[in-house]
Amino acid sequence: MPSHAKAVQRRAPQGFTLIEMLLVMGIVITMITLMMLSVNSMLRSSRMSRTVALFVGAIDEARAAAMTERRTTRIDVTQLDEEGKINRLTTFGAALNDNFESYTMQNPTPAKPHPPQDPRLLASWKSSRSGSTGQPELVVDGGSRCLRMTGTNGGPTAYWNAGSRVDAILQDEYEAVLQARVKFLPGSPIAPPHSVSLLGAIDDGGGNSINSAYRLTMIIDPNNKDSVQLERGTVGPTGPLQAGEPKKDGQPKLVIDDPPRTILLVENVWYRLCLSIKVFKPASSTSETEKQAIIGGVMWMDGAVEPLEWTVGPITDHAPLQNGFGGLAVSGCDALVDDFMYDSRPIRVIPEGVRIDPFNLREVINSDAKPAEQNTPYAFPLKFRPNGTVGGFDKLNKLPGAAAIIRLRDMSSNATKYIRIDQNTGRVRVFDAIDDVTKDLK
């Protein structure tokens, strides 16, 4: 065998030393770490960008809808956990409107005090009372057509829109907003107290009675205890079910535990009512079917600016009623209703980990940049009015220039963005630093 072959044959196999292996492993770990940091940074940036885009898009959409449809639209945020990492954005949605102007009517005469009504009205609106006097009836008030509701002493008479049930909502989370213009008619021969209610999530059992509903009720009391209250219960002759009282299936149904709001009410004056029913899955829920509802109500005199705060509520119902029809109820008097609206609003998921905080404008200007104290952990509504102006949650400090300042903060990186909505124009601007937000307002 040649000598060089023997040399090759005797050569020991070569490998990696421990130092070389450690060096390679260190390089690989460093590259993976850098890659993960880069990916995390991209995810955080994407999370913040998506949140900003959600807000800006929702604000522009709500403002345009308010001016186009000539009615107030709202945006608010639902905070589902104590830390504020899990939030939902409620935006403008499609609505069912009925101002009763599209129906034909005949003028009443002594011979026919209740003339035949437009068949389309009777197909759209149902009543819990039988007979011609209990059917929905068109009347004219101040040149505008309205629906007259006839009350009795035996319990509330309910009127509901048969086409207002929103079966198309199949997602787990949504908000139903109901609005109406109502008026107590004077000179009622029926004994007080008098009440008018706006109803939501109505379950009519497929017939002419209402099994359950959420109710925002105005009450004129002869003992000078006029009030506005929020209830959950039946709207039949027995009135609302009290705490612990069994319903038909034997399960208890509770009146919502929220004190009535004492307020002066007057007959023959138009008021506006707004009832919000927000259904969502709790952040801690492990069940696909577990849901909660947040219910709040607002009442104000027609022609005035809609208040920013709830008149009653909001409160949480841990066993919410299912999505149902919208309507009204009257007891102890006759009343008119006009401009009925049922608005089903989608709820959009804000990327998890981004906290949403409203800021008080005066405190920001005074260099005390602390989040504003909210009247509820569930919402800070921004209201866009038909004239293009914005009402924000900075209700105590009427300063010009900005209606709202919202801080978006990524809880994992503390990266922040600030959104400012100008009061008079509805213009949206995004800032990186709090000092830049108010630079042109000081």
In a domain, 33, yes or no: no
Q: Are 423 and 276 part of one and the same domain? A: no
Neighbouring C-alpha atoms within 13 Å toward the C-beta of 206: 0
Provide mean pLDDT across the span 214-223: 87
Residue 327 located in a structural domain: yes
pLDDT band with cut points at 50, 70 and 90 for residue 13: low
Same domain, 390 and 334: no
Angle among Cα 423, 87, 43 to the nearest 5 degrees reads: 100
111 and 210 both lie in a single domain: yes
Residue 372 lies in a domain: yes
Distance CA(194)–CA(79), nearest Å, equals 37
Mean pLDDT of 32-61: 74
The predicted structure's pLDDT at residue 352? 83
Range of the domain at 179: 90-349
> What is the number of structural domains in the chain?
2
pLDDT of 354-378, one tens digit each?
888 777 655 555 554 555 444 444 4
CA distance 247 to 252: 6
pLDDT of residue 240: 44
Q: Which of 31-45, 103-117, 192-206, 237-251 is modeled with the greatest confidence?
A: 192-206
Task: Return mean pLDDT, the chain.
Answer: 75
Same domain, 232 and 280: yes
When pLDDT is averaged across residues 191-199 and rounded to a whole number, the result is 84
Task: Write out the H or E segment, with its range, that includes residue 244.
Answer: none
Question: Residue 197: inside a domain, yes or no?
Answer: yes
Q: What length does the chain have?
A: 442
End of a domain among 349, 376, 393?
Answer: 349
Q: Of the candidates 317, 349, 381, which is a domain's last residue? A: 349
User: Do residues 421 and 317 share a domain?
Assistant: no
Residue 170 inside a domain? The answer is: yes
pTM of whole model > 0.85?
A: no
166 and 205 belong to one structural domain? yes
pLDDT tens-digit map of 54-95:
888 888 888 888 888 777 788 878 777 777 777 788 877 667
**Which of these three, 294, 320, 349, is where a domain ends?**
349
Pair 254, 383 in one domain: no
pLDDT for 269 equals: 93
Determine the average pLDDT of the residues in 306-318: 80
The enclosing domain of 258 has a CATH number of 2.60.120.560
Residue 442's pLDDT is 58
Do 52 and 102 share a domain, yes or no?
no
